[in-house]
Structure 1
Amino acid sequence: MNIINARLRGQTSLYSIRVEQGVFTAIEPQTATLSPSASPSEIDAQGNLVCAPFVEPHIHLDAVLTAGQPKWNQSGTLFEGIERWSERKPQLTPEDIEQRVLKTVQLLVENGVQYIRTHVDVTDPSLTALKTIAGLKEKLSKVIELQIVAFPQEGICSFPNGKQLMEQAIEHGADVIGGIPHFEFTREYGVESMHWVVALAKQHGLLVDVHCDEIDDEASRFLEVLATAALEQDMGERVTASHTTAMHSYNNAYCSKLFRLLKKSKINFVSCPTESIHLQGRFDTYPKRRGVTRVKELREAGMNVCFAQDSIQDPWYTLGNGKLLRVLDAGLHICHMMGYRDLSTALDLITINGAKTLQVEQQYGIEEGKPANFIILQGCDDLAVIQQQGEVLYSVRQGEILVQRQPASLLRTTHLS
């Protein structure tokens, strides 16, 4: 396969890219625009951006496409969402889960995603969802790389046999250990759960991804506990704090102290801006806080932050369509990241930063010798892609085309001629 007339991130020249046996074998600047041949193995990028695939680092595939089942979340709050999910969870069957997961993965792949980390609720004594999704990993491996988080939606210490269920989840294929300390019954339970989660992951050589401080309570400070445990266990880059929305409400003096610990710990952060902007601030009158973690400040401090969708049409979020560019656009607005410096590297938030969070960066990127996994986006650089909300024109995995579409064109009319 040859790709000609390609733009690469951070470069001004056109490039030609050669792929052989599913691997990038040559990436070379072009001295001029090349004319396309009739060869089916050649892709003319037409000056559009070739970049590494999108990474979806935080989604709940077990709950996708269940909005309104059995009842709608009328308040739109996080806690009513948990109640609605607790009513839907007993209705789960392998057939139901598989049908929804495959439909959603198709949607994600069509929109340029090739790496997914899904949280799967394990506060279910039968572990139906986890077993079913783990059983789909091989089937899906040709189109995505899938990581499964054992996520204790109703707590570890606060849920009957919570620790045993987490350990069973590992036996059934979980890659990542999750937690939800702010939802535990007491602070003591939350602290205990964080130390236990990090120790368990280290024991089994797994990663950690915790729903951490997803609340507007400025006194919810489990992030410092998770970061300290990661630092003590030398697990930093293998640990992720998702949401951390309470950080939006922390005072600046505390945040200054906290950032020192966070940088030393080297943990990763996932923000879900479209979900957080609607779930948080629900107890406020006016002014209403945004309730999204300090993405810009974390990024400027040199910490790894990425964006995610979190939900697609489930009890917590009735919308969602698999388009990470939509999430990126919203996040840039919400987090006051509209300066040129932010916009010119914005795709990092849904590409390389997510790859680092998932610990797949060694095999990720447009480089000779790496697997030929890439997408072609409408636009010549990050800014142009965001401005246009460009389509994913191609998605290619190991040299095989998964998605191919033509950009929309306007027919010439007498009014526009």
Structure 2
Amino acid sequence: MKIINARLRQKAALHTLEIDNGVFSAITEQSAELSAGNGQIDAAGKLLCAPFVEPHIHLDAALTAGEPNWNQSGTLFEGIERWSERKPMLNEADIRRRVLKTIELLVQNGVQHIRTHADISDPTLVGLKTLCSLRDELKDRIEIQVVAFPQEGLLSYPNGLTLMEQALEIGADVVGGIPHFEYTRELGEQSMKTVIELARKYDRLVDVHCDEIDDPNSRFLEVLACEALFNDMGERVTASHTTAMGSYDNAYCSKLFRLLKRSAINFISCPTESIHLQGRFDSYPKRRGLTRVKELNAAGINVCLGQDSIFDPWYSLGNGKLLRTLDFGLHICQMMGYRDFQSALSLITDNSARTLNIQARYGIEVGKPGNFILLDGEDDYSVVRNQRDVLLSVRDGVRIMQREPARVTTPNWIDR
């Protein structure tokens, strides 16, 4: 496969790229625009980018909003209650149908790597088993990591720890946690230590729903970061949400950031979900309810953005478009300066790949897998501003999705 007239991120010139045996074999700067020959892909000056990465989604719950009841308050905790009502209806066929439909949405929008959480607060573990099975079946078309996620608590849910170990034995890629949902502070702190112990025992990654609450006294992040630091695991550890950080005072955060930088842990923010779920106890002034994405990014701490949900008990919208999530995130986090726009796509590409610990085989470089997407724009700024569709997605040198650019007919009165 040969692609000509492609623009690359942070580079002014057009480039030609070649993929042989599923791997980038050559990337060459062009001195002028080229004419396409037989079998060549003409990027026509569009931006060729590493694939989008969805670092945080709940595929087992996708497309279940309103089944059997809607989340009328829109709160996080009612969402958990509504999901508890839906769980008895779960079976392999139900999960497979919804997950495949959701993955199709993601692929249509340029995603080639997914980290999904699977609720293991279920003695049957049907969600986790089904997602692990689909991960293996689809591995040649899309990469999936499965998180064993104890939605109702690792230590507070009956046999939660046993279920976690069973999930890891079955083949979950990542150890999850939810310390702020444990019954007591002590159980929350112990759960963070247990998560790290399990990750070391089973040689797995870690991704914790950490401090997803407005309570400024919810400070399990410092425990997670400290355990990651002491066990030299930071790059393999992720703190998702950390929305309580938006309620921490600056004096505490100045101390906390020192630990976070030393620990080298990763962060995921889900802006559309957090702006909707958090701040529910506020009248006015009302908190945004997000973690400090802008400040983490400025401090050189790895942070990325995810969708979290698509039409489920916690979020009844969503369409698989990470560019939409990025757009929301830049607005909500007040990252609206031109410098922010110039590197904005990193929040859903490179930073996310680092979070999933796949950076060694990710990116537009000779010798790496021939995976890329073609975006309808010339650079990060134009792609984010115009919010157009992904035009092409190629994995290992094979096209997995393609669409034509939208065509618009201009009314006659504009020509006048």
Give 1:187's aligned residue: 185
When structure 1 is superposed on structure 2, of 137-146 and 173-182 the one drifting more is: 137-146
Give 1:320's aligned residue: 318
Aligned ranges for residues 338-353 of structure 1 at < 5 Å?
338-353=336-351
Whichever residue aligns with residue 97 of structure 1, its letter is I
Over 3 Å counting, the alpha-carbon distance change for 1:412 and 1:156 in structure 2 is closer
Give 1:105's aligned residue: 103
Residue 82 (structure 1) shift: 0.2
Residue 416 (structure 1) shift: 4.3
Q: Distance in 1 between matches of 2:312 and 2:89?
A: 14
Q: Distance in 2 between matches of 1:98 and 1:329?
A: 30
Runs of 5+ unmatched residues, structure 2: none
| Contact 1:199-1:233 at 8 Å conserved across structures | no
Q: Secondary structure at the match of 2:113?
A: strand
Q: Secondary structure at the match of 1:411?
A: coil
Q: Distance in 1 between matches of 2:408 and 2:232?
A: 56
| Contact 1:344-1:383 at 8 Å conserved across structures | yes
Aligned ranges for residues 197-236 of structure 1 at < 5 Å?
197-236=195-234
Give 1:259's aligned residue: 257
What's the TM-score once normalised by structure 1's chain length?
0.99
Q: Distance in 2 between matches of 1:380 and 1:141?
A: 31
* Aligned partner (choices 120, 126, 129) of residue 127 of structure 2: 129
Q: Distance in 1 between matches of 2:299 and 2:414?
A: 49
Map Cα deviations across residues 171-217 of structure 1 (whole Å, 9 max, x no partner). 11100000000000000000010000001101111000000000000
Aligned ranges for residues 354-393 of structure 1 at < 5 Å?
354-393=352-391
Give 1:154's aligned residue: 152
Matched, 1:332 2:330: yes
Give 2:274's aligned residue: 276
Give 1:45's aligned residue: 43
Percent identity (aligned): 67
Q: Secondary structure at the match of 2:117?
A: strand
Q: Distance in 1 between matches of 2:40 and 2:320?
A: 28
Give 1:115's aligned residue: 113
Give 2:303's aligned residue: 305
Map Cα deviations across residues 149-168 of structure 1 (whole Å, 9 max, x no partner). 00000001101111000000
When structure 1 is superposed on structure 2, of 311-320 and 140-149 the one drifting more is: 140-149
What's the TM-score once normalised by structure 2's chain length?
0.99
| Contact 1:209-1:240 at 8 Å conserved across structures | yes
Aligned ranges for residues 241-252 of structure 1 at < 5 Å?
241-252=239-250
Give 1:61's aligned residue: 59
Q: Distance in 2 between matches of 1:388 and 1:302?
A: 28
Residue 70 (structure 1) shift: 0.2
Give 2:7's aligned residue: 7
Residue 413 (structure 1) shift: 5.2
Q: Distance in 2 between matches of 1:160 and 1:263?
A: 36
| Contact 1:210-1:241 at 8 Å conserved across structures | yes
Whichever residue aligns with residue 83 of structure 1, its letter is E
Q: Distance in 2 between matches of 1:26 and 1:178?
A: 39
Matched, 1:71 2:61: no
The CA RMSD over aligned residues, in Å, is 0.8
Give 1:139's aligned residue: 137
Q: Secondary structure at the match of 2:156?
A: coil
Q: Distance in 1 between matches of 2:154 and 2:305?
A: 26
Matched, 1:24 2:11: no
Map Cα deviations across residues 38-97 of structure 1 (whole Å, 9 max, x no partner). x2x311111010010000000000000000000000000000000000000011000000
Whichever residue aligns with residue 15 of structure 2, its letter is Y
Runs of 5+ unmatched residues, structure 1: none
Residue 414 (structure 1) shift: 3.6
Q: Secondary structure at the match of 2:413?
A: coil
| Contact 1:115-1:146 at 8 Å conserved across structures | yes
Give 2:168's aligned residue: 170
Give 1:93's aligned residue: 91
Residue 410 (structure 1) shift: 1.9
How many residues align? The count is: 415
Residue 144 (structure 1) shift: 1.0
Residue 415 (structure 1) shift: 3.4
Q: Distance in 1 between matches of 2:232 and 2:290?
A: 28
Q: Secondary structure at the match of 1:76?
A: coil
